[in-house]
Amino acid sequence: MRKKTEAKIKVMVEPIGFGFLQTMITFLKEAKASRISTRQLIAYVEAEKASRQEKVVGIKGHPKELMRCPECDAPMSLQPVNFSKGSRTGDKSKAVHSCINEDCRNQIFYNKTIKEIKINLRKHKEI
Ligand SMILES: [Zn+2]
């Protein structure tokens, strides 16, 4: 490899790290074997970013009940549970905070109602 090329690569790798570059090469080899083009990968990332943005905007409409996931710091949505057959959890919880990050999906169940949780969140009290 030419010294000039090697120097260029070094500069490009510095902000992402060598380990990430190795992961990326493995990923790109796999994508090529699966006949997935760079253009298709970019389209996937753009579509995924747009769908995640929609979810965040949805929560921004209720800033007072916004809570960040303790596992991954993504926003969490607050939903009632055990109010119908389809929402049974097998315990006596009344509400759940669910992480919107699809790779995390952390859930925190409460024995308090959504109204009580919202009041505590507004007062910055423990739920
Ligand atoms: Zn999370």
68 CA to middle of ligand 1, Å?
8
The pLDDT assigned to 122 comes to 73
The pLDDT assigned to 56 comes to 47
Average pLDDT over residues 21-44: 93
User: What is this structure's pTM?
Assistant: 0.48
Q: What is the 3-class SS of the chain, one letter each residue?
A: CCHHHHHHHHHHHCCCCHHHHHHHHHHHHHHHHCCCCHHHHHHHHHHHHHHHHHHHHHHHCCHHHCEECCCCCCEEEEEECCCCHHHCCCCCCCEEEEECCCCCCCEEEECCCHHHHHHHHHCCCCC
75 CA to middle of ligand 1, Å?
8
Average pLDDT over residues 90-100: 90
109 CA to middle of ligand 1, Å?
14
Q: What is the pLDDT of residues 40-84, one digit of tens each?
A: 999 988 887 777 655 544 444 544 456 788 889 888 888 899 988
76 CA to middle of ligand 1, Å?
7
